[in-house]
Amino acid sequence: MISRLLGVLGLALAVNVHAAGQAEAPTTPARAEAPETREILVMLRLPAPHFRADGYQGGNYREDAGRAARRRMAEALAREHGLEVLEDWAMPALNIDCYRMQLPSGKAAGPVLQALAADSRVQWAQTVENYSAQGTADPLYPVQPAAVPWQLADVRKVATGRKVLVAVVDSGVEADHPDLAGQVDLKENFVAGQGYVAEMHGTAVAGVIAARAGNGVGIEGVAPDARLMALRACWQMPDGATRCNSFTLAKALNFALLHGAQVINLSLSGPDDRLLQQLIDLARTRGVRVVGAIDSARPGGGFPASHPGVFAVAAEGAGRPAGRFLAAPGRDVPTTMTGARWGLVSGSSYAAAHISGLMAVLSELKPQMPLVQLRDSLVANATSIDLCATMTRVSGKCTCACASSAAAHYARSP
């Protein structure tokens, strides 16, 4: 039976594969570590005359005339407060330099942050928060849950996400996977001390969004003609979980904003974070569609899903917080895996990836549509987003099964 199913879909499904970023129990390692963090971020204002977005290369610290002076200022602050400077990064998207510093053993972060906040040289300071990807793997069940309900075959006659740039801020993506070859425009690594490496969670998320269509193998992404930016801000742990932090995520978001991302996928969750909030707010002002995965174990679904303007997504049928959210397929989802394989995954990470693919399709149709209008145009049925009806509403044209869509009494997304 298994052989027959594999033959039908052409999936080289991996048995007992564990996708990075397992869903967290109510008490997670990230939450347990937060009060004891030994790392903080110190922001210094980047003088406006030195900001040259066209000359900034996101993979390296930007050189300018004031860098050495700001570095000396950061080192002076570190000496005064008993800190050690570990890493620095220019974030011209917010007009700041960000310094990652380490507290000495036994020294609490609170008093140091208060002292830094009162220092006129410091824009602000905060702890480094930890984040976890929101997904798990599952064995064989080779069915793409969005293919029929979202009428993807009909939708692709109208839009495929063509040339829309989607930033996958995640662990590493296997760009030469048979279903992702040619889909990744660029790769960047923002995890210090490691080179870029392909990892399970990022590869699986990328496949849901933009796996190649019509190539005779594997699956098809929701937006197979979208272009991917594979921004490695997370890393795979030995136990298969995927972790990120404020600093790595901020570097990736800064890069995405400077390089024209139209959709940003954040299949992860953690506590509120001021630096990340400001970067997401900037993305919203530029009309970028930011998609976040809900963690039902965290208040409000966790950050960034809880942040205003983020398209917060839960898996169909999963527990979800009260308030505005979107539901999308997120259980037994066939997708790309490292090692040129395919496997089954479940979790809000992959529901969010479905919505990022949807945003790429809608961005091809209406790239300048304001975010508020876009949100109000989303159509949901009893269980999930209805892509076909949403496209009809956005484009004003009958794009797929209009008769059934018009007859149904759809409700707007809450």
Which pLDDT tens digits describe the chain residue by residue (414 residues)? 334 334 434 443 333 333 333 333 333 333 333 445 689 999 998 765 444 444 444 444 455 667 888 899 999 999 999 999 999 999 989 989 999 999 998 889 999 999 999 999 999 999 999 998 877 543 332 367 788 788 888 888 889 999 999 999 999 999 999 999 999 999 999 999 899 999 999 999 999 999 999 888 889 999 999 999 999 999 999 988 899 999 999 999 999 999 999 999 999 999 999 999 999 999 999 999 999 999 988 988 999 999 999 999 999 887 666 567 899 999 889 999 999 999 999 999 999 999 999 999 999 999 999 999 999 999 887 678 888 888 888 887 766 765 444 433 333 333
> If you search the block for the tokens 């796996």, which residue do you land on?
211
Residue 312 pairs in a beta bridge with 292
Examine the domain organization and report whether 263 and 311 are in the same domain: yes
Residue 20 lies in a domain: no
Q: Is the N-terminal amide bond of 271 cis, ω within 30° of 0? A: no
Our count of domains for the chain comes to 2
Examine the domain organization and report whether 139 and 123 are in the same domain: no
Amino acid at 354: H
CA atoms of 167 and 150, how far apart (whole Å):
23
Phi, psi of 146 (to 5 degrees): -90, -15
CA atoms of 224 and 348, how far apart (whole Å):
21
Whole-prediction pTM: 0.83
CA atoms of 401 and 231, how far apart (whole Å):
36
CA atoms of 335 and 147, how far apart (whole Å):
13
- Domain boundary among the residues 112, 128, 144 is at 128
CA atoms of 382 and 318, how far apart (whole Å):
14
What CATH number has the domain bearing residue 180?
3.40.50.200
Examine the domain organization and report whether 113 and 170 are in the same domain: no
Identify the pLDDT of residue 382: 67
Identify the pLDDT of residue 272: 96
Identify the pLDDT of residue 35: 44
- Domain boundary among the residues 128, 158, 175 is at 128
Residue 279 lies in a domain: yes
Residue 104 lies in a domain: yes
The C-alpha angle with vertex 154 and arms to 153 and 156, in degrees rounded to 5, equals 70
From edge to edge, which strands make up the β-sheet containing 96-102?
84-91, 96-102, 39-45, 124-127
Q: Which domain holds residue 65?
A: 34-128
Q: How far is CA 314 from CA 264, 305, 320, 346, 413, in A?
A: 16, 10, 6, 11, 12
- Active-site residue set: 170, 201, 349
Check if the beta carbon of residue 263 is closer than 8 Å to that of residue 206.
Answer: no
Residue 89 lies in a domain: yes
What CATH number has the domain bearing residue 102?
3.30.70.260
Identify the pLDDT of residue 151: 82
Question: Buried b / exposed e across 216-226, counting CB within 10 Å, b at 16+?
Answer: eebbbbbbbbb
Check if the beta carbon of residue 56 is closer than 8 Å to that of residue 254.
Answer: no
* Tokens matching residue 107: 């020294």
Number of neighbouring beta carbons within 10 Å of residue 397: 10
Examine the domain organization and report whether 75 and 93 are in the same domain: yes
Give the 3-state secondary structure of residue 24: coil
Residue 395 lies in a domain: yes
- Domain boundary among the residues 128, 163, 179 is at 128
CA atoms of 306 and 174, how far apart (whole Å):
30
Examine the domain organization and report whether 189 and 51 are in the same domain: no
CA atoms of 166 and 183, how far apart (whole Å):
10
Q: Is the N-terminal amide bond of 304 cis, ω within 30° of 0? A: yes
Residue 2 lies in a domain: no
Beta strand pairing call for 165-170 and 263-266: parallel
